[in-house]
Amino acid sequence: MEFSYEAKDSYAEVKADGRLNMVSAPKLREFVTDVIAGGSNRIVVNLENTAFMDSSGLGALIGCLKAARQAGGDLRIAAVQPQVRMVLELTSMDKVLTAYPSAEQAFGND
């Protein structure tokens, strides 16, 4: 699991490459918390290279969403792979998070 982060015009893009599972989930939460503490509160988590996600990974995303909201911003997800989409639907988390086709589109309209 590898995390990286890149500041864009109106948001910060976080990439989570590999398997986002119970072991790496707490690390994602830490990573995003640090990005938020660094001053970016509009976060896009780009999941194009996230081959697998479990419920703990999704749980971490909610934790990150909460942190971004508390900082006055938002967190969005983009480029989800089929397995991740399945987990989103299984847990009905797709009702909470919209999965955008790409990171650029995530904050496209606001």
Partner 1 sequence: MTRFWTRLVVVLTVITGLNYIGWRWMASLNWEAWWIALPLVIAETYSLIDVMLFGMTVWRLKLRKAAPVAPADATVDVFITTYNEDLDMVMTTALAAQRIRHPHSTWILDDGARPELKALAEEHGLGYVTRSGDWTANVPRHAKAGNLNNALMVTHGEFLLILDADQIPEPDILEKTLGYFTNDKVALVQTPQYFSNVPASDPLGSQAPLFYGPIQQGKDGWNAAFFCGSNAILRREALMQLGLVGYVKETEKSIRRALAASRSAIRQARKSADVQAPLVAQVLDEVEAATVEAQRQLDDGQSLSELTYRVRRRVDSAVQTLVLADVEALQSDLEEISAMELAHVGDSGVPVVADDAVQRMSARDWSPLGALESVQAVLDALSVERNDEAQPVMPLATISVTEDMATAMRMHGMGWESVYHHEVLAYGLAPEDLQTMLTQRLRWAQGTIQVLLRENPLVQKGLKLGQRLMYFATMWTYLSGYAAVIYFAAPIIYLLLGILPVTSLSWDFFIRFIPFMVVNQILFAVAGRGIPTWRGQQYSLALFPTWIKACSTAARNVWFGRPLGFAVTPKNRQSGGPSWSLIQPQIVVAILLAVAAVVGIIRLATGLAEPLGTLVNVAWVIFDLVVMSILVRAVLYKGYEPAAEPAATERES
Residues at the site binding partner 1, with contacts judged by CB under 8 A? 22-23, 25-26, 54-56, 58-59, 62-63, 65-66, 69-70, 74-76, 90-98, 110
CB of 99 vs partner 1, minimal distance in Å: 9
31 vs 63, which CB is nearer to partner 1?
63
71 vs 81, which CB is nearer to partner 1?
71
22 vs 37, which CB is nearer to partner 1?
22
Task: Report yes or no: 6 and 41 within 8 Å, Cβ to Cβ.
Answer: no
Task: Report yes or no: 7 and 43 within 8 Å, Cβ to Cβ.
Answer: no
**DSSP state for residue 81 in the 8-state scheme:** -
Q: What's phi and psi for 34, nearest 5 deg?
A: -65, -40
CA dihedral (79, 49, 88, 65) positive or negative = negative
5 vs 62, which CB is nearer to partner 1?
62
CB of 28 vs partner 1, minimal distance in Å: 12
CB of 49 vs partner 1, minimal distance in Å: 21
| Terminal alpha carbon distance of the chain | 30
CB of 20 vs partner 1, minimal distance in Å: 12
User: Any idea what the Cα angle at residue 63 is, between residues 10 and 41, rounded to 5°?
Assistant: 20
